[in-house]
Chain A
Amino acid sequence: MTPTRKKRLMAIVLILLGVGIATVLFLTAFKENILFYKSPSEVLAGDYPKARNFRIGGMVKKGSIIKSTNSLDVEFYVTDYAKDVKVNYSGLLPDLFRDNQGMIAIGQLDNNGVFQAEEILAKHDENYMPPEVAASLKEKPSNYETTDNSNNLDKEDK
């Protein structure tokens, strides 16, 4: 093999090696950083990624927010009007976070069925519901009951 050819071969091998390593690293980074979105119903049905972060989204259940007065801990329920999941979070809350507002939390479900949130997102304006939240809310069954009795919603059983 001539020296030029040898050089060229070396170069090609190096390039392929580089591309191979890059692809592996890229795929790993990619896979680990894809966050799935789950609604409370899906989570309670067991359909959520175990042992890794995912996103849970829905509405903040009215009246469910409990804030500590001597720490940054907060707990509340996220609901899709069919099922509720309790969420624990410690830290500063986004400005748009409140009752009856769409929100998305990133974290993991612990062994007690409580969602331990690392991050809370409520970043749209008042009149906007994230498409994912709206879509999952639409699939709810029609005989959901509210726990507080104001504004009765009489739904006939279908």
Chain B
Amino acid sequence: MLAEIGQFTLAFGMLLASLLAALPLYGYFSNNEKFMHTARPLAYLQLIFLLVSFLILVALFISQDFSVAYVWRNSNLALPLRYRISATWGAHEGSMLLWLVIQTIWTAAVAFYSKSLSRSQVARVLSVLGIISLGFTAFVFFTSNPFLRSIPAPFDGNDLNPLLQDVGLIIHPPILYMGYVGMSVPFAISIAALLGGKIDETWIRWSRPWTNAAWGFLTFGIVLGSWWAYYELGWGGWWFWDPVENASFLPWLAGTALIHVQAVSEKRNAFRGWTVLLAILGFSLSVLGTFLVRSGVLTSVHAFASDPKRGVFVLTLLAIYAGGALFLYALRANKLKSQGGFQLSSRETLLLANSIIFSVACFMVLLGTLFPLFFEAFGKKISVGPPYFGSMFFMMMMPMAVLLPLGMYYRWQKDELTRVLKQLLPSLVITLVLAVVVWFFFKPLNLKASLGVFGGAWVFVTAMFYLKDYKGKLTRAVWGMQIAHIGVAIYLFGVSMTEHTDFEIDSLMNPGEVKMVQGYAIEFKGVEVKQIENYRASQGHFVVSKNGKIVAEMNPQKRYYPKRGNPMTEAAIDPGFSRDLYISLGEQINDQGGWAVRIYIKPFIRWMWGGGILMMLGGFWAASDRRYFRHAKLLKQKNIDKYLKA
């Protein structure tokens, strides 16, 4: 019964989405206030129905209703409650429903936080968001319905993939989807503006906090994904340039470019067309990401059960959204020409450079991800290895790190390089001192690591100086920017150290053996078998000491889940501020209890994620700047006056 109600609310949600897509837009084009008025209520109703649908699915999982095929496939009687809940979004159908619910949440949020805008503006934006949710609701309902029954009902379920029985699965997808889906808001705002035939600063100012918030979620989602892969996959990696990972990185890169170009196009009449294009690109990449992950086009560790039929559907959605948007963009191209002039030597140029760097990086990652597909058309099977992405990304980020402080210190419209450099001189000196100190402490460092450390120090020191020297009130926007940039610096330091000074060794260890690794004495005590929750584990016991004192006791596991044929590796991690110790078990090698063991020392790896968290916080903080609300109040007053005058 419950599953049928779930289907019904989903279907009704689809109806509401189609009304939201059509009515306000019709009202806009025919200048009918009544129709435009329907936008907000429809947005709220849509949210309610889809939320109910989603909660019903969760309830079906909690109550373990195996007559629902999706529940049966992803859960079983032995599954602990918390994983039963998160199993809701553990596979394709459920995760798509989650995506959908999040889309309705953002839509309702836009409906709520738009009091200052005119009726026609709100109608347009919400209708575009309605078109988006209509597409995805149809996708779920027609090709990926999680409520389908399987009769007769099996007594016990299949299981949730053990890799997903983890706290990471509970939080990573929802946060990441908040980011992916959030990019639909600047997209919708841009389309709405294009429909009206002009992009003025009202539109851009309105889209900035939304872009920052979506970007913040995306940043957090990526950080969570990386951290989860690190401790869950058991092999010490934290980023593999896997197509699914790239799928989340692409909208992030476009989003970063967008945030920085919005800074210009809001304040100056410049780059308006470029802003719109990046907003379209950002969301299109989100949809492209979903397509890549779910269609089976690219092979990947993370890919959901792939189905070409679903692939075609999503590809069609992508063609409609992005194709339609780009077509509209071309139609309105003439009206988007910016008037504001600026010199080559100005802040505008530097922010443009940033935008170009991130857009090029985005393109490079896209190329590397899609290249195997392109090559397959010629009959050759290839793959693009991580080193390509790594070295290309490094080449992009180095100029970015160098130019970042210049961008902050340059004045708008016209400035002189010599003046800016003179201002930056004290920071440069301190940076060099700091970099040299770090280098001495951690040497030897190869060239890449040294450059990374220097870049990080440069960004960090200049950010500090900027805050110290800032004239005027330190608003949330400025604080947010600095916090995010400091996050970049910390990230650069962490990634340089962990990539270039980490240590890895695979060895056969017999019980009682001690391995000396970078000053740590790691003693293997042996492996014992234990029964835990719903799995059986071979648990290793390692005692790690430094200078005679015990630093950590580490217990990596090899887990055997009953319904799965193959074992799962659970690494043991001793986290630290300056390093992570990481041990994972291979398999038993001989009858004396000797096991294959992998030991990692990863310096400063937490700084990477810490930097990412700071970036997220900076984004959220900037998004909450009261300037937007103050301006909204002014605008609201202006609209009221206009209304009264009319």
Interface flags, A1-32, vs B, CB<8A=1, else 0 = 00000011001000000000010011001101
Instruction: Report chain A residues within 8 Å CB of B385.
Output: 33-35
What is the minimal beta-carbon distance from A19 to any residue of chain B, in angstroms? 9
Inter-chain contacts of A7 with B (CB < 8 A):
344-345
- A39 CB, min distance to chain B CBs, angstroms: 9
Known: A25-B395, A72-B507, A95-B568. 4 other contacts (CB 8 A): A30-B368, A72-B506, A92-B586, A95-B234
How far is it, in angstroms, between the C-alpha of A29 and the C-alpha of B386 when the chains are bound?
Answer: 10
Q: How far is the CA of A37 from the CA of B596 in the complex (A)?
A: 29
Given contacts A8-B344, A26-B392, A125-B161, contact A34 B382 (CB under 8 A): yes
Q: Mark B201-223, 1 if CB is under 8 A from A, else 0.
A: 00000000000000000000000
Query: Are the C-beta atoms of A95 and B387 separated by less than 8 Å?
Result: no
Query: Are A36 and B566 in contact (CB-based, < 8 A)?
Result: no
- Is B586 in contact with A93, judged by CB distance below 8 angstroms? yes
> With a CB–CB cut-off of 8 A, which chain B residues contact A145?
none
Question: What B residues does A34 contact at CB under 8 A?
Answer: 371, 382-385, 388
Contacts of B371 in A (CB 8 A): 34
**What are 20 inter-chain pairs, A to B, with CB distance below 8 A?**
A11-B344, A25-B391, A25-B392, A26-B392, A26-B395, A29-B387, A29-B391, A29-B392, A30-B392, A34-B384, A69-B591, A69-B594, A70-B594, A72-B508, A72-B596, A92-B586, A95-B566, A125-B161, A126-B566, A135-B381
Please determine whether B589 and A68 come into contact, CB atoms closer than 8 angstroms: yes
Interface size class of B (residues with CB under 8 A): 35 or more
How many angstroms between the C-alpha atoms of A32 and B391 in the bound complex?
11
Min C-beta distance of A134 to chain B, whole Å:
11
Set of chain B residues within 8 Å of A92, measured between Cβ atoms:
235, 506, 584, 586-587, 596-598
In residues 550-569 of chain B, which contact A (Cβ within 8 Å)? 564-569
Find chain A residues with CB under 8 A from B386 CB: 33
Q: Provided the pairs A33-B387, A92-B598, A95-B569 are in contact, do residues A69 and B589 lie with their beta carbons within 8 angstroms?
A: yes
Query: Measured between C-beta atoms, what is the minimum distance from A97 to chain B in Å?
Result: 9
Question: Would you call A96 and B566 a contact (CB within 8 A)?
Answer: yes
Q: In chain A between 93 and 132, which residues have their CB closer than 8 angstroms to a CB of chain B?
A: 93, 95-96, 98, 123-126, 130-132
Q: Which of B383, B391, B507, B589 has the most CB of A within 10 A?
A: B383
Query: How many A-B pairs fall under 8 Å by CB?
Result: 95
Query: Does A91 reach chain B (CB closer than 8 Å)?
Result: yes
Contacts of A32 in B (CB 8 A): 387-388
Complex contacts, A149 vs chain B, CB 8 Å: none
Given A92-B596, A125-B161, A37 and B586 contact (CB-CB distance below 8 Å):
no
A67 touches B589 (CB 8 A): yes
In the complex, are the beta carbons of A72 and B383 less than 8 A apart? no
Expressed in whole angstroms, the minimum distance between the Cβ of B591 and any Cβ of chain A is 8
Q: Tell me the complex Cα distance, A132–B372, Å.
A: 12
Chain A contacts of B380 at CB under 8 A? 36
> In the complex, which of the residues B299, B384, B587 contacts A131, with contact meaning CB atoms closer than 8 Å?
B299
Chain A residues within 8 Å of B567, by CB: 95
A71 interface residue per 8 A CB criterion: yes
A98 to B161 Cα, complex, angstroms = 19
When A26-B392, A29-B392, A132-B381 are in contact, do A70 and B508 touch as well, CB less than 8 Å?
yes
Chain B residues, CB < 8 A from A95: 234, 566-569
CB distance from A28 to the nearest CB of B (A): 9
Chain B residues with CB under 8 A of A68: 589
Chain A residues with Cβ below 8 Å from B382 are 34-37
A61 at interface by CB-CB < 8 Å: no
Q: Which residue from chain A places its CB closest to the CB of B567 in the assembled complex?
A: A95
Contact (Cβ within 8 A) B383 A35: yes
User: Top 9 nearest A-B pairs by Cβ distance?
Assistant: A92-B586, A33-B388, A69-B590, A37-B381, A33-B385, A91-B506, A29-B391, A33-B387, A132-B381
Interface centre among A26, A34, A37, A92 (most CB of B within 10 A): A92
- Within the assembled complex, what's the spacing in Å between the Cα atoms of A96 and B381? 23
Query: Nearest Cβ distance between residue B363 and chain A, in whole angstroms?
Result: 10
Task: Assess whether A72 is in contact with B566, with CB atoms less than 8 Å apart.
Answer: no
In contact, B388 and A30 (Cβ under 8 angstroms): yes
Q: Is B52 an interface residue (CB 8 A)?
A: no
Nearest B residue to A55 by beta-carbon distance? B383
CB distance from B48 to the nearest CB of A (A): 37
Closest-by-CB residue of B relative to A21 is B395
Residues of A within 8 A of B596 (CB): 72, 91-93
Q: Is the CB of B301 closer than 8 A to any CB of chain A?
A: yes
Question: Which residues of the other chain, A, contact B69 by a CB distance below 8 angstroms?
Answer: none
The interface centre, meaning the residue of A95, A125, A131 with most chain B CB atoms within 10 A of its CB, is A95
A21-65 contacts to B, CB under 8 A, are 22, 25-26, 29-30, 32-37, 55
Cα(A96)–Cα(B586), bound, Å: 12
* Chain A residues in 8 Å Cβ range of B59: none
Q: A126 — which chain B residues lie within 8 A by C-beta?
A: 564-566
Point out the residues of chain A lying under 8 angstroms from B388, CB to CB: 29-30, 32-34
Q: How far is the CB of A119 from chain B (nearest CB, A)?
A: 10
Q: Smallest CB-CB separation from B368: which chain A residue?
A: A30
Report the nearest A residue to B584, measured CB to CB: A92
Chain A residues with CB below 8 A from B506, complex form:
72, 90-92
Find chain A residues with CB under 8 A from B589 CB. Answer: 67-72
Instruction: Give the Cβ gap from B532 to chain A, nearest Cβ, in Å.
Output: 18
Q: Mark A71-83, 1 if CB is under 8 A from B, else 0.
A: 1100000000000
Residues of chain B from 581 to 604 with CB closer than 8 A to chain A in the complex: 584, 586-587, 589-591, 594, 596-598
